[in-house]
Amino acid sequence: MQKYVLRRVLFAVPVLVLSSLIVFGLMRVMPGDALTVLMGESGNVGERELAKLRKDLGLDRPYHEQYALWLWQMVSLNPGDSIFTNEPIVVSLRKAIPVTLELAALAMIIGLVVAVPIGVLSATRQDTASDYAGRVVAVSGLSLPDFWLGTLVITFAAIWFHWIPPIGYVSLWESPWRNLQQFLLPAAVLGFRLSAATMRMTRSTVLEVLREDYVRTAWAKGLEGRIVVYKHALKNALIPVVTIVGGQLGVLLAGTVVVETIFALPGMGRLTVEAILYRDYPVVQTNVMLVAATLVTLNLMIDLTYAWLDPRIRYR
Amino acid sequence: MATVPVRVATFDAPEVATISSTRMLLLAMRRKPLGAVSAALLVMIVFMAVFAPVLAPYDPLATQPEIRLSAPSRAHPFGTDDIGRDVLSRIIYGARISLWVGLLAVGIGTAAGMVIGLLCGYCEGRVDLVFQRVMDAIQAIPALVLALAIVSVLRPNTTNAMLAIAMVIIPGNSRIVRGAVLSAKQNRYVEAAQAIGCRHLRIILGHILPNVTAPILVIASIWLGNAILIEATLSFLGVGTQPPTPSWGLMLSSTGRAFMEQAPWLAIFPGLAISLAVFGFNLFGDTLRDAWDPKLRRK
């Protein structure tokens, strides 16, 4: 197992380094540097101020030095300041990360709570009206854009119930009720999108498992249907479902970008979109790198969990 | 095994191999009527995009402030927006942007992915290792976030959104092609071609490429739906197509959200157009896979 862990960690390191190179390179492919573009567009910054700013940000150094410096800043958790607000990026991240984490966790819970029971129902009642209904829900979850669903939810909540989610973020510890009011709709929108793939996977794996010999044995010895499905079949059917859920982390993180923008939640996604719109390059490169690092780490952890659960994987 | 081609299948299953790929698609559609529905949806969207000037009742850019925000009526079936432009005409013209971006992005992404996949799968060894790690690194960044970052660097407009989407498509496509090439290389006729001294280019183009076209077409059709969705999302976030060009995502964000309580139709119809297009392409991709996947076909 130790050997396997070491090998996987060693594979993850070059991926992270290459990702950082891509992000760093991307921010510098433009003719001229970020600052010239940014300030040139405003038109009211003198050449001398520009040179000073460039020096302060280290943009006058050779690329390899800039990259090394940025990498060091990222590793030492001090990625510099935003060029738009002058706020240290760490401070804005400290405010934004809990929002995104809460949204993502709630969305994941809602997604699973919706997906697994409907998936099981679809499978146990294959080709009936409830199966078709479940499948329609799944396909619409895949096709309805989350930004449209979010817009519709806000519109119709306002028209029909004269209710709009409270504006101005309040943390869970300050006022749990107000916080829940702010998060429930966006998490539901995001969760619905996530549930689609999980639902399809649950349906097909439960269908597969229900045809296994040991399930037939369970039926044959006269067990109650509920016990056969939930205790015997579902347990094994859930293994590939966990894989799908793990693979959705990217969708989840991308989804928060859109949903946070629509519901005005001050999370990582909104921070990134705003930084992109204002061309705040230090913030963009830090955020994108952070997302990539999070995904690589989470995927590594999921892989290691599998290897721990299923010894066959380690010896491949 | 997923990539055993139509032509090669003649050796294994002659009775199936005589059916052309178009006929297989038609058969699959008859078996699964939803496939036919998806094809009808796609035909409708393409028709809308091609004949937009004939089909649109009004000029999509012509403003009529005196009828601003008017509800759907006989004259304006989808209503008008905040400066009195006809929403139906804008949606019909919007199909052009969506389809154009989708087709070009998927075309570029697929072509680049195919070249990389062919190279990696055929050469293996170090080239493969290096390219695959780069693809891993690109895939480590979620598609939308990467597209956003690329557009922010290149300047937000339709062409750059298209390039960003193409970039996002490359890694996944190259993986699929690589896998297909690796399995195609196991075929004896490839070995025979190598043994009689065929040049690499001829082996790749003449013997391996025909084997990977089916999976490429399937994955491209699925990506088309996603590309349309990403374009709409980028435009919605303000970094894709810029006003006044009619794009579905932009219509939803610029007027749809601002006037959603007064004029909900501004949010409903563009969103419906995006959903139907994405739904159509996703379903069509599924149908293509059912029809062309040799494993599913033999059953």
Q: What is the 3-state secondary structure (H, E, C) of B135-204?
A: HHHHHCCCHHHHHHHHHHHHCCCHHHHHHHHHHHHHHHHHHHHHHHHHHHHCCHHHHHHHHCCCCHHHHH
Taking residue A192's Cβ as centre, other Cβ atoms within 10 Å add up to 21
- Sequence-distant (≥ 6) Cβ neighbours of residue B88 within 8 angstroms: B56, B57, B58, B76, B77, B78, B269
> Residue A280: what residue type?
D
What is the reported pLDDT for A127?
A: 79
Please report residues of B whose CB lies closer than 8 A to that of A19.
137-138, 140-141
Does position A134 have pLDDT exceeding 50, yes or no?
A: yes
Mean residue pLDDT across chain B: 84
Mean per-residue pLDDT, A211-234: 86
CA pair distance B101, B13, nearest whole angstrom: 40
CA angle B80, B83, B85 (to 5 degrees): 45
| Best-predicted range by mean pLDDT (A33-42, A125-134, A286-295) | A286-295
Q: In this predicted structure, what is the pLDDT of residue A2? A: 80
Give φ, ψ of B86 to 5 degrees: -75, 120
Cα(A102)–Cα(A91) distance, integer angstroms = 18
- Cis peptide leading into B65, omega within 30 of 0? no
- Residue B47: pLDDT band (50, 70, 90) is very high
Assign B75 to helix, strand or coil.
Answer: coil
Nearest CB among A27, A155, A295 relative to B153 is that of: A27
Closest Cβ opposite residue B137 in set A15, A151, A156: A15
Model-wide pTM > 0.90: no
Chain B hits for A26, CB-CB cut-off 8 Å, are 149-150, 153
Q: Which residue of B has its CA nearest to A24?
A: B149
Does pLDDT of B15 surpass 60? Answer: no
Task: Give this complex's ipTM.
Answer: 0.81
Chain A residues with CB inside 8 Å of B276's CB? Answer: 143
> Chain B partners of A152 at a C-beta cutoff of 8 Å?
267-268, 271
**Helix/strand/coil (H, E, C) string of A74-102?**
HHCCCCCECCCCCCEHHHHHHHHHHHHHH
Confidence of residue B86 (pLDDT cuts 50, 70, 90): very high
Question: Of the ranges A20-24, A52-56, A197-201, which one carries the lowest mean pLDDT score?
Answer: A52-56
What's the rounded Cα separation, in Å, for the pair B117 and B175?
6
**Token pair in block for residue B172:** 């996944």
Task: Return the closest-CA partner of residue B235 out of B68, B109, B90.
Answer: B90
Average pLDDT across chain A, whole number: 83
B101: pLDDT confidence band, cut at 50, 70 and 90? very high
- Phi and psi torsions of A307, nearest 5°: -60, -35
Q: How far apart are CA B263 and CA B174, in angstroms?
A: 45
Q: Which residue of B has its CA nearest to A21?
A: B137
pLDDT at A301 over 80: yes
The CA distance from A9 to the nearest CA of chain B, in Å, is 14
pLDDT tens column, B152-206: 778 788 898 999 999 999 998 898 899 889 888 888 888 898 889 889 889 988 8
- Chain B residues in contact with A15 by the CB 8 A cut-off are 133, 136-137, 140
Alpha-carbon distance of A9 to A2, in angstroms, equals 11
Residue A300 confidence (pLDDT) above 90? no
- How many helices (DSSP H) and strands (DSSP E) are in chain B? 15, 0
Q: Compute φ and ψ for B80, nearest 5 degrees.
A: -125, 160
Query: What is the pLDDT confidence band of residue A31, given thresholds at 50, 70 and 90?
Result: very low
Flag if A291 and B279 touch (Cβ within 8 Å): no
Cross-chain residue pair B275–A143, CB shorter than 8 Å:
yes
Encoded tokens for B57: 């009742």
CB burial string A158-175: b at 16+ within 10 A, e below:
eeeeeeebeeebeeeeee
CA geometry: angle A207, A213, A217, nearest 5 deg: 110
Nearest to A148 among B152, B252, B283 (CB): B252
Helix (H, G, I), strand (E, B) or coil at B52: helix
> pLDDT above 70 covers what percent of chain A?
92
Please tell me the predicted confidence (pLDDT) of residue A96. 92
pLDDT (mean) for A73-93:
86
Residue B299 binned pLDDT confidence (cut-offs 50, 70, 90): very low
Q: Are B288 and B218 in contact (CB under 8 A)?
A: yes
Q: Give the helix ranges, DSSP H, for A211-280.
A: 213-220, 225-227, 234-247, 249-262, 268-277
Q: Stretch B274-283: mean pLDDT, rounded?
A: 87
Q: Is the pLDDT of residue B297 over 60?
A: no
Name, of A53-62, B110-119, B209-218, the range with top average pLDDT: B110-119
pLDDT of residue A228: 86
Contact criterion met (CB below 8 Å) for B296 and B290? yes
Instruction: Tell me: pLDDT of B110 over 90.
Output: yes
Reading phi first (left if > 0) and then psi (alpha if -120 to 50, else beta), residue A81 is in beta
pLDDT per residue over A149-207, tens digit each? Answer: 988 888 888 778 887 777 778 888 888 888 888 898 999 999 998 888 888 888 888 88
Cα–Cα distances (Å) from B82 to A32, A212, B85, B89, B273, in that order, read: 39, 60, 7, 15, 19
Q: What was the pLDDT predicted at B102? A: 92
Q: What is the pLDDT of residue B114?
A: 92
Per-residue pLDDT tens digits for B208-222: 888 888 888 888 887
Question: Is residue B8 pLDDT above 60, yes or no?
Answer: no
Residue B285 binned pLDDT confidence (cut-offs 50, 70, 90)? confident
- Give me the amino acid identity at A86: N
**Mean pLDDT calculated for residue range A6-16:** 86
Nearest CB partner across the interface for A145, out of B140, B268, B274: B274
A195: which residues sit within 8 A by CB, 6+ positions away? A110, A111, A112, A114, A115, A118, A138, A141
